[in-house]
């Protein structure tokens, strides 16, 4: 193959992993939860074999779902080897690097000494400093932030240090500078996976803007992206992929405003004659719907992606491989608003790809190993290729 298009449907998990109870996620199944909505409709993913994945469940109201129909793609279900259920660990493992120790979380807020250093460096006081819903925290602390100029700092069950600020009080570039300061401070025992800028605007109860920006730890060792880049291949990043890998192994990147924009940007890259990988993250499933327990919104987002999938499929060239996957779950129907420890799907399409179900495989890194082999690049990553199993 000459080009691989790897699209991550952020948080679209397909059922609890065996150790889900250890993470408080017993019973989670993100796709099944979304299917409780009448707006859930994914006939194009169905054609590729999405609903024939191991462990797949769909609400019985959707009579259009036919699991016995012939598949037009190849599919498998993948379990996570890394410790955690975070965006960063999920993407790093997809790229062939397992995180054997979980990234630190702060269920009681960040330590006093860290907050004091952050306040000293930024010249602004801190509000909140505890786990919080991103939409609720600006409702509860937004007015005080506007009155005092203090920054809203909060976390979640994930390894994140989030900074919220109204764009009229803290200009977006200034907020990004504060995030870079936090990234410098959050190392070692404070080394959270991501620092996240969470700008908002308008009047109370306020709305978050599309100017979110993530500042991840740099992967501690080379991933599939580095190996491809070293081999002279292009690695094109769409959405927050560049942030997740801190730019490491990326040759070109573009930011996105929402899922629609992410699909548009991916289609634009499909028009480019390149040799390598286009790696896309579509974040709305997670950010806008999973974390807000919005079942209807989640279902509509899945249906929207499915509606636009034919635009991607028709642009695939003879030497292209399409891979659609996820990085974790975020079941919108559970009491928790955090990520869930779930299996992820992998749906593949392309010329010369066998139509088959590979069942369940261990480790997201099999995606990276398969991409390297199909692009003819040798390198050492943590995963096992199944390229020979799906290539005709």
Q: Tell me whether the omega of the peptide bond preceding residue 205 falls within 30 degrees of 0, making it cis.
A: yes
Residues 261 and 363 in one domain: yes
How many percent of the chain have pLDDT more than 90? 97
Confidence (pLDDT) at 354 = 96
What length is written for the chain? 392
- CA atoms of 305 and 301, how far apart (whole Å): 6
| Residue ending a domain, choose from 155, 187, 216 | 216
Contacts of residue 290, Cβ cutoff 8 Å, sequence gap at least 6? 11, 30, 298, 329, 330, 331, 332, 337, 339
Whether 371 is in a domain gets the answer yes
- For residue 269, the surrounding DSSP H or E stretch is helix 259-270
Residues 241 and 365 in one domain: yes
Residues 11 and 158 in one domain: no
Domain presence at residue 119: yes
Cα torsion angle, 218, 265, 267, 345, sign = positive
Strand 194-201 with 207-208, pairing = antiparallel
Task: State the Cα–Cα distance between residues 76 and 358, nearest whole angstrom.
Answer: 5
Residues 179 and 167 in one domain: yes
- Shared domain for 190 and 229, answered yes or no, is no
Q: In sequence order, what are the residues at sequence separation of 6 or more whose Cβ sits closer than 8 angstroms to the Cβ of residue 306?
A: 41, 42, 43, 44, 45
Domain's final residue, options 156, 189, 216: 216
How much is the pLDDT for 68? 86
Same domain assignment for residues 68 and 168: no
Lookup result for tokens 């959405």: 239
Q: What is the pLDDT of residue 67?
A: 87
HEC string of 77-119 equals EEECCCCCCCHHHHHHHHCCCCCCCCCCCCCCCCCHHHHHHHH
Do the domain assignments include residue 331? yes
Q: From 278, 117, 96, 238, select the one nearest 183 (Cα to Cα).
A: 117
Report the domain count for the chain.
2
Q: Within this chain, do residues 30 and 82 fall inside the same structural domain, yes or no?
A: yes
Residue 131, pLDDT score: 95
To the nearest 10°, the Cα dihedral for 346, 347, 353, 354?
90
Nearby residues of 233 by Cβ (< 8 Å), 6 or more positions away = 275, 276, 277, 375, 377
Q: What pLDDT does 158 receive?
A: 86
Domain shared by 191 and 326, yes or no: no
CA distances from 231 to 18, 235, 276, 367 (A): 38, 11, 10, 18
Q: Please list, in sequence order, all residues whose beta carbon lies within 8 angstroms of the beta carbon of residue 349, skipping any fewer than 6 positions away.
A: 48, 72, 73, 74, 313, 316, 321, 322
Residues 6+ apart with CB under 8 A from 262: 238, 239, 256, 280, 281, 282, 283
Decide if 67 is inside a domain: yes
Chain segment 124-182, per-residue pLDDT in tens: 999 999 999 999 999 999 999 999 999 999 999 889 999 999 999 999 999 999 999 99
Structural domain containing residue 138: 112-216
Torsion angle, alpha carbons of 380, 238, 229, 83, to 10: -20
Low-confidence ranges of the chain (pLDDT < 50): none
User: CATH number for the domain including 158?
Assistant: 3.30.70.1250
pLDDT value of residue 157 = 85
Q: Looking at the structure, do residues 40 and 86 belong to the same domain, yes or no?
A: yes
Claim to verify: residue 157 and residue 262 sit in the same structural domain: no
The tens digit of pLDDT for each residue in 198-238 reads 999 999 999 999 899 999 899 999 999 999 999 999 999 99
Q: Does one domain contain both 279 and 386?
A: yes
Read off the CATH number of the domain in which 326 is found. Answer: 3.40.720.10
User: Which of 216, 236, 259 is at the close of a domain?
Assistant: 216
Q: Is residue 106 part of a domain?
A: no
Check whether residue 155 and residue 209 sit in a common domain: yes
Residue 43: per-residue pLDDT: 97
Over the stretch 119-139, which tens digit does the pLDDT of each residue have? 999 999 999 999 999 999 999
pLDDT, position 178: 98
Assigned domain for 318 exists: yes
CA pseudo-torsion sign 94, 302, 331, 68: negative
Q: Is residue 271 part of a domain?
A: yes
**Distance of alpha carbon 293 from alpha carbon 278, whole angstroms:** 30
Burial of 318 (0-12, 13-18, 19+ CB in 10 A): exposed
Q: Is the dihedral of CA 92, 130, 14, 265 positive or negative?
A: negative
Taking the C-alpha atoms of residue 390 and residue 75, their distance in angstroms, rounded to an integer, is 9
Tell me, yes or no, whether 146 lies in a domain. Answer: yes
């Amino acid at each position: 193959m000459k080009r691989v298009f790897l699209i991550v449907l952020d948080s679209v998990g397909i059922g609890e992993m065996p150790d889900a109870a250890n993470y408080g996620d017993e019973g989670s199944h993100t796709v099944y939860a979304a299917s409780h909505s009448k707006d859930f409709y994914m006939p194009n993913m169905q054609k590729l074999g999405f609903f024939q994945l191991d462990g797949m469940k769909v609400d019985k109201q959707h009579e259009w779902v036919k699991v016995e129909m012939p598949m037009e793609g190849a599919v498998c279900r993948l379990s996570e080897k890394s410790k955690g259920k975070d965006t960063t660990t999920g993407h790093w493992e997809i790229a062939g690097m397992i995180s054997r120790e979980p990234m630190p979380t702060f269920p009681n807020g960040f330590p006093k000494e860290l907050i004091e250093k952050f306040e000293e460096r930024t010249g602004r006081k801190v509000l909140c400093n505890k786990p919080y819903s991103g939409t609720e925290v600006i409702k509860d602390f937004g007015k005080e932030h506007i009155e005092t100029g203090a920054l809203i700092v909060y976390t979640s069950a994930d390894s994140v240090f989030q900074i919220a600020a109204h764009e009229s009080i803290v200009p977006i570039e200034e907020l990004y500078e504060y995030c870079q300061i936090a990234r410098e401070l959050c190392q070692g025992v404070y080394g959270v996976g991501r620092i996240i800028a969470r700008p908002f605007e308008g009047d109370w109860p306020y709305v978050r803007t599309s100017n979110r920006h993530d500042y991840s730890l740099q992967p501690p060792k080379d991933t599939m992206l580095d190996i491809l880049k070293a081999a002279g291949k292009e690695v094109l990043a769409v959405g927050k992929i560049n942030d997740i890998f801190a730019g490491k192994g990326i040759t070109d990147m573009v930011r996105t405003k929402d899922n629609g924009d992410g699909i548009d940007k991916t289609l634009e890259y499909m028009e480019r004659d390149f040799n390598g990988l286009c790696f896309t993250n579509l974040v709305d499933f997670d950010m806008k719907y999973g974390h807000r327990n919005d079942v209807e919104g989640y279902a509509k987002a899945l249906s929207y992606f499915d509606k636009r999938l034919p635009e991607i499929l028709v642009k695939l060239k003879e030497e292209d491989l399409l891979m659609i996957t996820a990085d974790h779950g975020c079941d919108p129907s559970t009491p928790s608003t955090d990520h869930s420890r779930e299996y992820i799907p992998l749906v593949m399409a392309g010329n010369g790809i066998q139509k088959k179900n590979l069942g369940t495989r261990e480790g997201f890194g099999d995606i990276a190993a398969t991409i390297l082999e199909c692009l003819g690049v040798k390198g050492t990553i943590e995963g096992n290729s199944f390229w020979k199993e799906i290539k005709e």
